[in-house]
Amino acid sequence: MANRERPLSPFMLGQTYRFQLTSLLSILFRIAGIGITVGAFVFAWWLLAVAQGGDAYERAAACLASPVGMVALFLFSLGMVYHLLAGIRHLLWDAGWGFELPEVYRSGYAVVVLTVVLTAAIWFVVLWGGA
């Protein structure tokens, strides 16, 4: 038997496989899913604080209004928007649309741009759009 030098794992970006936009978007999709899961627990904690009222709510509100809390909320909203748009992209693939390589890259860039635009719009409304 010939002993060939080949990767032991398919996840060898940078060493064996060339890094591509599709690789990055796939990794980000998984990271966003993990972030959304963590954010769901934070949301449940906030809901419990609202239900308890008084000091519990004040502590939760102060925590989320702190600079670290605001960054966490921003990253949560960024992950939610990205995960939604990437999920829509995958649904379109399931319907048979967008399998040609130029379309794959075009839709990938569209997801990234729309994620930035929609997240910025959400935060604009949250911070400056209220009455």
Judge whether 55 lies within some domain: yes
Task: Note the pLDDT tens digit of each residue in 18-34.
Answer: 778 988 999 999 999 99
Task: Note the pLDDT tens digit of each residue in 46-93.
Answer: 999 999 999 999 999 999 999 999 999 999 999 999 999 999 999 999
Judge whether 110 lies within some domain: yes
Strand, helix or coil for residue 106: helix
CA distances 11 to 5, 15, 97, 104, Å, are 16, 9, 27, 20
Residues sharing a CB contact under 8 Å with residue 50, sequence separation 6 or more, in sequence order: 57, 60
Is 90 known as a binding-site position?
no
Strand, helix or coil for residue 13: strand
Judge whether 49 lies within some domain: yes
Question: Domain range spanning residue 106?
Answer: 22-126
Domain count, the chain: 1
